[in-house]
Structure 1
Amino acid sequence: MKVVSFVNMKGGVAKTTLSINIADCMATRHGLRVLIIDLDPQFNATQALVHGSDYVGYLEKGGHTIVDIFDDNPRVQTSSVKGELPAQPLALEEIKPMVRKNNLFLLPGALELYRLDMTGGQGREHRLKRYIDIVKSSGLYDLVIIDTPPTPSTWMSAALIASDYYLVPVKPEPLSVTGVDLLRNVINRVKENYSLGIECLGVVLTISDERETVYKNAKEYLDSAAFWKGKRFKKSLLKRTEIARRQGNQELILDTDDSKLKMAIADITREALQKLGLEN
């Protein structure tokens, strides 16, 4: 089982769009069992995969979220009969993802993640790694994809600690392209602090129009920069305004009738599988 974090310190680069659609393509077209972990406190991946009313119902039935991984403190539950009762945190072995569709699973995100104290020295940043080690030993999944927040944080560190690879979605615009070097510095610092062996899976240009000068400039920069040279995926995620609208209705790229868009995500997924050694 391989673990890949999708990371970028800039919002609006289609990080979530890329992560959930690669996961869906791997599950739907390649028959891999894929677990998506939504580690972004804004839980955009969850909202793109689960209708709001279904998410509320899932929580009301006691469904697990990313909060259950990191919240290791006893909580107080209020009962109209027994009053306030202490509730112990879940053991990591008890946390179960939800089934999104055949072969595709999701550990949903939650806004409640914001309330957790993730200051250094508590060791909470290692809990995701411990959970994924349990998941790995279960043999239930072929791949775990982690959607991370667009800021350097303990959450991002937790994702990198738990991952074998990181993938960088980059929008072809000057600030996004030059920002990948800052991101690399942040990742290197986390690697050094935690003695990680995580590797860069590559860079995917997103929201792209290959006719535009900004796209050509971004491509040229990535292909010539010392670290990024050879790491750019051959195919880019095409610019389509309908992607965001469809995601709001929990529709993924393979659900559309846009053949060029579907071909693009299929090619990106195939290249990712090749790099991961999971091509079938």
Structure 2
Amino acid sequence: MKSIAFFNNKGGVGKTTLLCNLAASLAKVHNKKVLVIDADPQCNASAYLLPEEQLQSILMDEEHYSVDAFYEPIRRGVGYPKSIPTIVKSERFSVDLIVGDPKLSIREDLLATDWAATRNGDPRGFQTTYAFKELVSRFNNYDFVLIDIGPSLGALNRSVLLATDFFVMPLSVDIFSMMAVENIIKSLTSWKRALEDAIERHYKEEEYYFEIDNKKVQWDLNFAGYVMQQYRAKKKEGVRQAVGAFERIIEKQKLELNELSNFFNISPELTDLGEVPTLSSVVPLSQQAHAPIFDLGAKDGVVGAHYTRVSEAAEFFHKISGKLIERLSND
């Protein structure tokens, strides 16, 4: 099983659209068993993958066991729960889903407080910080666990990123997306240094390593790569080239991405997973139908030029999912 968080410090880069459509491509085209965990308190992935009536029924069901509920016994100091959050099926996307919970944002305080305890080598701190890793470790029956998280560098997202094998970064060509990469590098550097110091301190004080799934915790996160939203371009001798200010942003962005790749000791050439075209005309249809863009048809409101966009989406998403599988198999 490979766990992958989809993350960028900047919002509005198509993160949830990318995650859900890649999840469907992995399942439908590559026959992979996929679980999506919605760890974004805004719950956009849940709203995309499930019809409104089904999602509302789940959230109102008193028997529903959420990601937030998984943290409750940890908060009370009684350890990890035996139960796992409720798993439901997204029929159109052909993936399983753990529905998001807006209350998960409240756990930010718990995770922030216990991160300080983690840095002091406190076992309680490690237990809280690695709760999400404990959760993910219980899904080895899947090929891929894809995790949607919000655009922040807070305690919740730190806990998720420490729990995963890889992260994918959706990007757009703009100054804010470029600055977000710089912020991420700084945060990852700080987190890694603090974690390694904390593990050493914990071992000296407790004389054992904290373990999840019988494996000692350590810095395991890797960079799977980035997916770029297509930018405005011109063609010169049949080659697509950026125009105006985009050229300067792209050059600076490449330097930041190279630095991110270097942080993970990865060749920058391996991290370019591809581009996604502008699909604004069919994304709302996809959201309304709760279906992958590449599976939309007449019954979903597709007419005329929409079919071209649907065909383009199939080409791009399937190519990216293929490159992602290749990238992870070589790591």
Aligned to 2:113: 120
Q: Report the Cα distance in structure 1 between the residues aligned to 2:64 and 2:9, rounded to whole angstroms.
A: 30
| Matched-pair contact (CA < 8 Å) for 1:36–1:107 | yes
Show the 5 A alignment for 1:236-255.
Answer: 236-249=275-288, 250-255=290-295
Partner deviation per Cα, 1:42-81 (whole Å, 9 max, x = no partner): 1111111112221121233323332122232699xxxxxx
Q: Which has the higher helix share?
A: 2
| Matched-pair contact (CA < 8 Å) for 1:31–1:103 | no
- 3-state DSSP class of the match of 2:69? helix
Equivalent residue letter for 1:115 = I
Aligned to 1:108: 99
Unpaired segments of 5 or more residues in structure 2? 115-124, 197-218, 235-241, 262-267, 297-306
Q: Calculate the TM-score normalised by the size of structure 1.
A: 0.84
Show the 5 A alignment for 1:86-97.
Answer: 91-97=81-87
Aligned to 2:17: 17
Partner deviation per Cα, 1:203-234 (whole Å, 9 max, x = no partner): 11125445452555454444455425425425
Q: Report the Cα distance in structure 1 between the residues aligned to 2:4 and 2:75, rounded to whole angstroms.
A: 31
Q: Report the Cα distance in structure 1 between the residues aligned to 2:322 and 2:73, rounded to whole angstroms.
A: 38
Instruction: Pick the structure with greater CA Rg.
Output: 2
Equivalent residue letter for 2:293 = I
| Matched-pair contact (CA < 8 Å) for 1:26–1:34 | yes
Show the 5 A alignment for 1:46-195.
Answer: 46-61=46-61, 62-72=63-73, 91-101=81-91, 103-116=94-107, 117-118=109-110, 119-121=112-114, 122=125, 123-136=127-140, 140-195=141-196
| 2:318 aligned residue (253, 266, 273) | 266
Q: Calculate the TM-score normalised by the size of structure 2.
A: 0.72
Equivalent residue letter for 2:42 = Q
Aligned to 2:6: 6
Q: Report the Cα distance in structure 1 between the residues aligned to 2:181 and 2:57, rounded to whole angstroms.
A: 39
Which protein, 1 or 2, shows the higher relative CO under an 8 Å CA cutoff with sep ≥ 6?
1
| Matched-pair contact (CA < 8 Å) for 1:246–1:252 | no
Q: 1:255 to 1:92 in 2, by over 3 A?
A: farther
RMSD: 2.6
Equivalent residue letter for 2:315 = M
Partner deviation per Cα, 1:240-272 (whole Å, 9 max, x = no partner): 212441243113222233211221111111111
| Matched-pair contact (CA < 8 Å) for 1:93–1:131 | no
Q: 1:191 to 1:243 in 2, by over 3 A?
A: farther
| Matched-pair contact (CA < 8 Å) for 2:80–2:131 | no
Aligned to 2:301: none
Runs of 4+ off more than 6 Å: none
